[in-house]
């Protein structure tokens, strides 16, 4: 009996068999709408389930990926080997002092809208950002001058050895669109965010609502509609990535079913039938042309996950760095 079969038996024995899916298309669970099947797929509704299944997968030495909102990721056409856990843990509280405790599967934009409506200031910049709290902490999500690093006080993590621990803000090593969690080295298992604690400030409900509406309108005006992963590249030290790509003459370029948006050059779109390889080819072209024209290196914001050839992943890292 191989490791995968043993894990399936363990999950079935624990009463989760009816929730376990095989060969689930990842295109259904990512904002890009591309990606092949996961060998095993299950949806976690509670933090206890998330911890239990991660520990089981590691005990059986089966690779495991936790997926949140499916944004900022590009899944390989060959899919994902092992187990994918969809994090749908939605619990959150706000106390009378503005202390927010949110499980990692909570939608960032829904939480932002809720806090604005309750008169708490600190997340209004996030009312249009897709994805979950867990992903937002790992990537230090930000927009319009606000960042997760401004509000996160501590996080609860599940380490590679299965231990749960709490870390303070300074231990998270926040930087521009990154954190110590995101910078975990190749071959190492990244700690999983289970919960984040944020501190907000009292604010005027009407003023916060007006600010959130302004953010929403700005985002709608600048953000292309359709299947994509948000901003493809980080801003360079000198220029916005979209500006460089546009100046390189690549706006609107299409490879297969993937296109650099004619509206905003830092958004790469799935026009309906894109493969992950189409998207990667566009990334490579943008990086090569921008370097050739401006000697600026474009570093992807997205992460490649799944069964990519190792050479492709290494090449992406090299082009970005």
281 is an active site residue? no
Catalytic residue among 31, 104, 231, 275: 231
Catalytic residue among 109, 169, 177, 211: 177
190 is an active site residue? no
Report how far residue 302's alpha carbon sits from residue 71's, in angstroms, rounded to the nearest whole number. Answer: 8
User: Among residues 5, 190, 162, which one has the least CA distance to residue 83?
Assistant: 5
User: Among residues 228, 227, 234, 229, which one has the least CA distance to residue 319?
Assistant: 234
177 is an active site residue? yes
Output DSSP code: residue 190.
Answer: P
In sequence order, the 6+-apart residues with CB closer than 8 A to the CB of 290 are 244, 245, 248, 296, 297, 298
Output DSSP code: residue 292.
Answer: H
DSSP 38-99: EEEEEEE-SHHHHHHHHHHHHHTT--EEEESS--SEEE-TT-EEEEEEEE----EEE-TT-E
Give the chain's end-to-end CA distance (angstroms, integer): 42
Catalytic residue among 24, 121, 124, 301: 301
Q: Which residues of 160-172 are buried (b: 16+ CB within 10 A; e: fewer)?
A: eeeeeeebebeeb
Q: How many CB atoms lie within 10 A of CB 222?
A: 12
Report how far residue 229's alpha carbon sits from residue 52's, in angstroms, rounded to the nearest whole number. Answer: 29
In sequence order, the 6+-apart residues with CB closer than 8 A to the CB of 264 are 222, 223, 224, 242
Kindly give the residue spans of alpha helices, DSSP state H, lying in 169-255.
Answer: 205-222, 241-247
- Provide the annotated active-site residues: 177, 231, 301
């Amino acid at each position: 009996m191989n490791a995968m079969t043993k894990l399936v038996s363990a999950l079935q024995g624990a009463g989760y068999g009816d929730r376990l899916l095989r060969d689930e298309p990842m295109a259904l669970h990512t904002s890009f709408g591309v990606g092949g099947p996961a060998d095993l797929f299950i949806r976690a509704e509670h933090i206890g389930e998330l911890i239990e299944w991660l520990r089981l997968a590691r005990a059986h030495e089966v690779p495991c990926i936790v997926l949140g909102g499916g944004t900022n990721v590009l899944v390989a056409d060959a899919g994902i080997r092992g187990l994918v856990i969809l994090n749908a843990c939605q619990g959150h509280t706000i106390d009378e002092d503005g202390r927010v405790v949110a499980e990692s599967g909570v939608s960032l934009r829904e939480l932002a809208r809720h806090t604005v409506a309750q008169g708490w200031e600190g997340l209004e910049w996030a009312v249009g950002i897709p994805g979950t709290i867990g992903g937002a902490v790992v990537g230090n999500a930000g927009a319009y001058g606000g960042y997760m690093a401004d509000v996160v006080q501590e996080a609860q993590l599940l380490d590679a050895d299965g231990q749960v621990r709490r870390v303070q803000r300074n231990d998270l090593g926040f930087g521009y669109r990154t954190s110590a969690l995101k910078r975990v080295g190749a071959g190492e298992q990244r700690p999983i965010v289970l919960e984040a604690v944020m501190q907000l400030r009292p604010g005027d409900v009407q003023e916060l609502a007006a600010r959130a509406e302004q953010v929403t309108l700005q985002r709608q005006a600048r953000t292309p509609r359709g299947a994509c992963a948000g901003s493809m590249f980080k801003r360079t030290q000198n220029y916005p990535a979209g500006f460089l790509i546009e100046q390189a003459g690549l706006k609107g370029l299409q490879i297969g079913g993937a296109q650099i948006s004619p509206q905003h050059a830092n958004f790469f779109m799935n026009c309906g039938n894109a493969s992950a390889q189409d998207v990667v080819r566009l990334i490579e072209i943008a990086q090569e042309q921008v370097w050739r024209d401006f000697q600026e290196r474009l570093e992807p914001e997205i992460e490649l996950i799944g069964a990519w050839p190792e050479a492709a992943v290494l090449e992406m890292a090299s082009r970005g760095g």
